[in-house]
Chain A
């Protein structure tokens, strides 16, 4: 599982960081920063889904398909 964060859609609610502090942090102005790029450790998958489900701007998406390497 991988997580994508749309930085243009994020407006700094910080609800992802509350739901999954291992996965999301804050930049200088309080917008979200994705802390783990690429495949997640399996134990963080539940928290990743929780972060996705708590974002009012729908800036977080979860991807489970294998990454296509061109």
Chain B
């Protein structure tokens, strides 16, 4: 990123940008034109100010969800048996968006996700049992990566021993797949094949208290919901519920490994947890979503054309000094924190209550058993980036 002008030629897949995107975002944000543009990866706009990013998220009729990934889908995605399967409600626009979202929200309300807390804590403890005696662990691969995939599998009523396969499919779509259409399509087909079988199973053998069964039996305006909707929701829950939360847990542990004073603060004052979790979500927001411009418009002086892609970098919004005092500092008791790690507007992350529960439980359980730890070598930590940013290898000693 050092050799190109980020205002006209940014590259969200650049290795240096993935490692530390914040200086580039700051440079764009504080320039005369805080909305950058690139022709790379089929072209996109990159706003960097909090108010612009929130406005885009809220103006869903102009900035549509027809395309939410930063690179175009593989050509063959529009063909074959699964052509109609998207990832509702994240890929939906009003008016369908309303019922697409209404049907799944009750599963993700705070009072609904509370039942996963004890199971998540037990899972975290089991993972720690596996490495605590060795005095070293990979906080990303051995811990963070292992948690959300199992919670989501439990929620979907599918076997948790498929976790490695699920993880590899999700990476195939969102990590490797964004710049490799072949891997993206193959991974999508594996996910959809898998859930096709699950849906057929629930139709033949309906289960009590089961998310897929409940969705299959749901009705809208007196009509059963189409199966491709249920198929799409399963697709979404796996794709959106795994590497996002894993990235957030991993980045928070990476931070705590370098800030023993924050670990000490959290041990001394458990009442800090609610604000601390929100602050870590703010500072290390993993997700950048894309929107597609519906019609030719001028937005903040930028001539946007119908079909243009625009990125909503929630990490950039969350570091805007116009909105957050000392945005680059993690302040565990930050009092006013309108962060948008989960987006804003009608597409606010449906799984946000589950994600923050997992993040809190993962960090609490880790700190209870591993109160002091540090990075083996900061230079050896590897990060994934693009649309979901978080550490993938993060060796620590304790």
Name A's B-contacting residues (CB within 8 A).
Answer: 11-15, 17-19, 26-30, 50, 53-58
Contacts and interface: CB of A to CB of B under 8 A. Distances in A.
A14 B348 CA distance: 11
B212 to A, nearest CB: 19
Interface of A is mostly: loop
A56 B110 CA distance: 18
B82 interface: no
Contacts of A50: 335-336
Contacts of A13: 342, 348, 352
Interface stretch (B10-18, B37-45, B100-108, B305-313): B100-108
Contact of A11 (B106, B110, B338, B345): B345
Given A29-B105, A30-B353, A57-B344, 8 more contacts: A12-B348, A12-B352, A18-B278, A26-B111, A30-B108, A30-B109, A56-B339, A56-B340
Contacts of A57: 58, 344-345
Interface of B: 54, 58, 102, 105-106, 108-111, 274-275, 278, 335-340, 342, 344-346, 348, 352-353
A14 B110 contact: yes
26 contacts: A11-B344, A11-B345, A11-B346, A12-B105, A12-B348, A13-B348, A13-B352, A15-B338, A18-B275, A18-B278, A19-B274, A26-B111, A28-B106, A29-B102, A29-B106, A30-B105, A30-B110, A50-B336, A53-B337, A54-B278, A55-B338, A56-B344, A57-B58, A57-B344, A57-B345, A58-B338
Contact of A53 (B111, B338, B340, B353): B338
Contacts, number: 60
Contacts of B338: 15, 53-56, 58
Nearest to B108: A30
Nearest to A29: B105
Contacts of B336: 50, 53-54
A11 B89 CA distance: 14
A48 B337 CA distance: 14
B348 A11 contact: yes
Max chain B Cβ within 10 angstroms of own Cβ: one of A15, A19, A28, A53:
A15
B106 to A, nearest CB: 5
Contacts of A12: 105, 109, 348, 352
Contacts of A53: 335-338
